[in-house]
Structure 1
């Protein structure tokens, strides 16, 4: 029902008192919501206008909402600024939150990653806890009543049917079928347990991407929730998590007595799931100190994100059974990580033949362990940024990276070299974390480690752990090991992170964690010598002699490996865009630039000559033109297809990845013909919600007599490349298949059919979250067709 506004009008706008109504945001049976501008305070607001013909009950409910929300001031609640009437038009004025509702976010993006979903729900529970403290039960919690602001923060709104907890006479049935609690469906008095149930149902929908209870008949939905226990879908969250599943199941228990006692208890359970307690791998006397330090670290937003990133990368790369697809998909979710990793792969140290423009190809070339090492180094660097002491952090990070790089150089076997890299680098984990999260304590530790006045050394004696214990009550090593366990790093790596000891044995170290400990310890001492000593060569000679028996060093081997590691580190630093000034002490860790040969060319000619001789450089910033990304991807795929190790699945993933990045698409999905049903079926994809789209995508290639072809079938049968700029246009919307309307609903998408012998056998689908989000010129379209044709050629080459 539209509100007829008895307000002043001027050309192109409607005025209600001091508010100018810009556009309608939404409409219900009794009211409409408008975006408005408060001309007195010069701010945007949301106005809820009651319909002029609303009954007395609606007016009462409107006043009730105004009274309820006006009592609540909380960052996760959309506040009401005022309630008023102008020329017979009743209205409420709310803060305007520009973001979408959670319902819109789920429709456009599908299921939300578990950690993100739980973080959002913690905010919702905070809001409900504030309301309950004022004696108010929301009673209508659902995704459409939760707004997401620009920072992704959940904001609860619409307390229109909120009720007083202490009102035993309120036995009316209120709420939305599918979200109301069993006791609300039976007309029981309002209690906080109703909101616990609603929060559980909403969280389940966030994790699965679909409503928990889907019934077209509202009365049937009310009947089911009153009589049946709601069951969680088989796949709840990716990856599945039994602990999180148990929390959701408890929240939606049909018996209110079996639910969490209140929203605070549910909040505590989710917070503990998000940041589980760490089991320290230190002496019992020190475990309390470790937990205290971890709590302090969690106060900084970087630490949870860093922990999550390390755990995800480690989980995907620690198993021999993990496939390339999962690792590439994980890395692609982080644009910054993707771009920096590709720069590293294309650096002088890794470069082989032709530029590498896709993560899939990078993993194939460098290997799982190599990509893991780069990714772990990058996430450590990415999260440890603080302008206040950036110089010290950069130095500490590069010192750790140098130790890892040198350890890798000293091990001939590739697999052992990757393990040595992580072992040596992570021996510094406690030191790195202390430098970033406990800055003052780190300064105190450095002061204790400073050599006496008059000595030649510029830095610490080797006993850094003793200084750490004096300041922190725990050594760097034990702190690093405790955090490593919380990240899920494997036991063998954690064993290798321990320093081997002060006295080197007269025998060779056994292969495995023991050798890795000695190797990491030696590499870290070399890194210290390079960084701090004024006579690094002599220091490295002493280190080589001391570790000769246990590690089998030959004369000069350690110095040569250190020089190789310096060259490699210089290449990595350049690829990672770390700026090291000429006067920075960290320059000592890098190989000096090669002296330029004298010639008669001008500087400009020298630049051109260098560019011609160097491998094709990649500029993978977010602003890179789509055509450049497509062209580079086509070249990369061509190089792969002519290689001996050609694999069809790798080519298809490289095609999808190139499209995802070039179009800045939300997701890209590949579908292949199922011979039994003569239907194109989604096989796999990349991007946000790609798995859900892949599971839904079904395009029949054979129609029943008299049946009309939907848009997808028509495009594939005709073999016509099609870009839909706005799927909401009437003539387009009417031809969309049900699976697309109900489970995908993308406003803008691209279809590239694949054909062999004039018959469709595959489809590449890409979409965007906004209408007109995919904009292509003739050059881009031509390159996309070439990319699609490469996929067709790959099938031919594979004999498909």
Structure 2
């Protein structure tokens, strides 16, 4: 009998390549371990599933592949060949033994910071090489990064890359939604910053262990990256200091003006973090700064303060952000909102607004974007830096900084310079303020060194260096850099040497620095010296800076006096209690520094504090029935809107005031505005307030066609105000549209339709998270309807 033979499966081939093992596959392609008999080597072969639709597409694809094939770099997986088999494009790469970064993260979780930085530096080196050759990756993600046996990152799959010199087809949105830069979703062309954004998201994933955006729906993923800032969680598997957090946040900034300009710039920042250089004689070594920042982060809410400052600063730095964005940011913090509104209702601001101001939107419109931004930044410092054990010293330092800001504003020549000078002077002594809050024991040591003995004490800078390892100024500058504060603001934080001549500034940034220095010296004189010595000290500062800033002595003295008057208004509005006889009280003394005039009401210096405390007490919330407080808030908002309508404010400002009034007065979880789309005829969500409101608004698409009979359609078409106490009741749930049940599903909500000429114009939607929690009495309902009618009136006003 013949010997039986063993049957071997047929060898799968693609051209000359033997396909030996499937390494991985996705929706569009499969990657095989293949063998090239011609060159006797194993390779990785990527075969696209879809056939090329036409010859032009194939030509374009081959053109891009040739651009990638020219890339030769240790951190790029080389492309050997690109061809087509039976109209299926395929690519042949070097076979790299090792997992993808995504496999590594799935198996081992998040990486320690230093390890992640070292791996990312390799990725960025590869990207920078490609960018210099005119090639943008456009689909950078962990699955397109291999980690070879030596632990080296190798970037692969430039198969959809763009050749910058030749251009390519831009009609289709190309890439993976969870790693796409916002500008791509807006239809803008890819640039090197597109890859920087994706690299930032990959780095985030290396530190956290999971992607920043985990949405199965690609449109929701794109929407989140377009409308939400990427922020590292406070708690991570491995420690990540604030310096590295700042790098991640800047790399993933939605605004390209804030984001790193190139892969090389991001790599330089990471390299500086990994291997800090000697400062070459400067006291503030990088390691010392990082050590102090780590202590701050673990000691109190420094990360929360950092995030708050960074968010407000991003709004200020972006050319595209609006009044709506700034007011939304402020409204996220209830305490900050209340303090800011009390402040803008003090006499100084109220006179500019022509009456009481009850909404942040109105405050921004009247006081100005820069003014409210600066007030918010200063209030964020106050809100996050509260410590009962050191309340007196912290309060004093905050009020001293606030006084300096007001003095700088008064010394400035123009409105724009005034706002820049205010915030520059407020942050001039940032390092001192931070140390006062985070390191109170070290502050005591510094003070002891400064007053060690008559004539033998150190100055503040030398004492700080001896105790902390760096000066207050260098600490403040280091934190300012990590917060991403503007360079002009950082420059204004540098002090002048006590014996240095003050020269007339040749550029605006130097003038800003002089204003900040002069204002802080004036504030110091008022706070730290007995009142009898104020005039002499103020005149000395005026003599030093007067010529350079083109200010007469009288100008300086009057600026200090006006600042004291403003401080006397601001302090009670901020609900800050100033103790009788304290040094802080000197900042509020409105009698005048030179003449010692009696107040018109006959009160003396110590009596003034009683007035301040009484006024502050009157501003504190009084326990009133919830409905009374809600009605008061609604009524105040109606007055705000009425004033805005008379002044012909922009439509969006009026609408936002209406939403904000409802949101704050009745404590809704979300308040959204939907408007009828002229093209589709549907009622579409536009914007709103509340957690993830922009995302939520995007899900509202109400069918207004004659056949639509769901609850939302009927409410809009009939113009019926509707309150749903429990949307989970079966017979009611059946009437809700499918999109609402699947994507919103709030248990209780209010619908206020906007009708114009008996036709649906818009809809105001408000909800809460607990069934039956919306309780509206007749008075509140009447006020809500007035607000709704004001919205309709605003549209009519625009139409005419």
Question: Of 461, 466, 490, which aligns to 1:470?
Answer: 466
How do 1:606-755 and structure 2 match up within 5 A?
625-643=629-647, 645-704=648-707, 709-755=709-755
Q: Deviations over 1:57-94 (max 9, x none)?
A: xxxxxxxxxxxxxxxxxxxxxxxxxxxxxxxxxxxxxx
> What is the RMSD computed on CA atoms of the aligned residues?
3.5
Residue number in structure 2 paired with 1:321: 320
Note the C-alpha offset of 1:351.
Answer: 0.7
Q: Distance in 2 between matches of 1:194 and 1:384?
A: 39
Cα deviation per residue 1:576-630 (whole Å; 9 max; x = unaligned)? 111101121110111348846489xxxxxxx9xx99xxxx989699967111110
Q: Distance in 2 between matches of 1:537 and 1:266?
A: 54
- Name 2:254's counterpart in structure 1: none
Pick closer, same or farther for the CA change 1:648–1:234 going to 2, 3 Å.
Answer: farther
- Once the two structures are superposed, the pairs formed by residues 365-376 of structure 1 within 5 Å of their partners are 365-376=366-377
Q: CA deviation at 1:486?
A: 0.2
1:427-460 deviation line (CA, Å, top 9, x unaligned): 11000111111111111112222385599xxxx9
Kept in 1: contact 2:575–2:619 (CA 8 A)? no
- Are residues 449 and 763 of structure 1, via their aligned partners in 2, closer, same or farther at CA, if it must alter by over 3 Å? same
Instruction: Give the 3 Å change call, closer, same or farther, for CA 269–397 of structure 1 in structure 2.
Output: closer
Query: Is the partner of 1:671 in helix, strand or coil?
Result: strand
Kept in 1: contact 2:179–2:198 (CA 8 A): no
Higher relative contact order (CA 8 A, sep 6+): 1
Distance 1:753 1:381, change over 3 A: same
Secondary structure of the residue that 2:477 maps to in structure 1?
helix
Counterpart of 1:26 in structure 2 is none
Task: Report how far residue 266 of structure 1 moved.
Answer: 8.3
Tell me, in whole angstroms, the C-alpha distance in 2 between the residues paired with 1:266 and 1:196: 14
Structure 1 residue 503 displacement after superposition = 3.7
The more displaced of 474-483 and 282-291 is: 282-291
Q: How far apart, CA to CA, are the structure 1 residues paired with 2:726 and 2:408?
A: 55
- Per-residue deviation, 1:675: 1.6
Distance 2:636 2:337 in 1: 15
Partner of 1:268: 238
How big is the shift at 1:797?
0.5
Higher alpha-carbon deviation: 364-373 or 474-483: 364-373
CA contact (8 A) 2:684 2:702 kept: yes
Shift of 1:232: 4.8
Q: Which SS does the other structure have where 1:526 is aligned? A: helix
**Matched residues in 2 for 1:598 and 1:568: separation?**
20
Aligned to 2:296: 297
Cross-structure match for 1:152:
none
- Match for residue 516 of structure 2? 520
In structure 2, relative to structure 1, the CA distance for the partners of 1:481 and 1:620 (3 Å cut) is farther
Describe the SS at the equivalent of 1:728.
Answer: coil
Q: Is residue 504–residue 550 contact of structure 1 (8 Å, CA) maintained in 2? A: no
In structure 2, the CA distance between the partners of 1:249 and 1:541, relative to structure 1 (3 Å rule), is closer
Residue 493 of structure 1 aligns to a residue in which SS? helix
- Residue 270 and residue 544 in structure 1: after superposition, are their counterparts in 2 closer, same or farther (change >3 A)? closer
Listed one character per residue, the Cα deviations across residues 624-659 of structure 1 (whole Å, up to 9, x for unaligned) are 71111100000010011101x421110000001111
Q: CA deviation at 1:235?
A: 7.0
Taking structure 2 as the reference length, what is the TM-score of the superposition? Answer: 0.64
Provide the rounded CA distance (Å) in 2 between the counterparts of 1:735 and 1:384. 50
Q: Quick one: distance in 1 between partners of 2:367 and 2:383?
A: 21
- Give the alignment of 1:59-70 within 5 angstroms: none
**1:351-370 → structure 2 map (5 Å cutoff):** 351-352=350-351, 353-370=354-371
The offset of 1:275, in angstroms, is 6.2
The residue correspondences of 1:74-223 to structure 2 (distance < 5 A) are none
Residue aligned with 1:444, SS: helix
CA shift in 2, pair 1:242/1:579, >3 Å: farther
Q: 1:552 to 1:271 in 2, by over 3 A?
A: closer
- 1:498 pairs with 2:494: yes
Partner residue, 1:442: 443
Give the unaligned 5+ runs of structure 2.
1-102, 112-174, 186-193, 212-234, 248-269, 592-597, 604-610
Q: Contact conserved, 1:247 with 1:269, CA < 8 A, in 2?
A: no
**1:547 match: secondary structure:** helix
Deviations 1:267-294 (A, max 9, x none): 3387786465896899356111111111
Query: Which stretches in structure 1 are left out of the alignment for 5+ residues?
Result: 1-190, 200-229, 254-264, 600-606
Report the Cα offset of residue 679 of structure 1.
0.8
Per-residue CA shift, 1:305-346, capped at 9, x if unaligned? 001101111110133432111111111111111111111111
TM-score, with structure 1 as normaliser:
0.64
- Is 442-451 or 620-629 further displaced after alignment? 620-629
Cα 1:252–1:237 shift into 2, 3 Å = farther
Q: Name the stretch that deviates more: 656-665 or 622-631.
A: 622-631
Aligned 8 A contact 1:356 1:636 in 2: yes
1:537-566 Cα shifts (integer Å, max 9, x gaps): 111111111222222221321111101111
Give yes or no for contact 2:405–2:426 (8 Å, CA) kept in 1.
yes
Name which of 472, 475, 479 aligns with 1:479: 475
Following superposition, the deviation at residue 681 of structure 1 comes to: 0.6
Q: 1:316 to 1:275 in 2, by over 3 A?
A: closer
Find the counterpart in structure 2 of residue 388 from structure 1: 389
Counterpart contact for 1:509–1:515, Cα < 8 Å? yes
Report the CA distance shift for 1:552/1:454 in structure 2 as closer, same or farther (over 3 A). same
Q: Say which SS state the counterpart of residue 349 (structure 1) adopts.
A: helix
- Contact kept, 8 Å, 2:179 with 2:201, in 1: the verdict is no
Please tell me whether the aligned partners of residues 505 and 549 of structure 1 are also in contact (alpha carbons under 8 angstroms): no
TM-superposed CA distance for 1:723, in Å, is: 0.6
- Change in 2 beyond 3 A, CA 1:192/1:480: closer
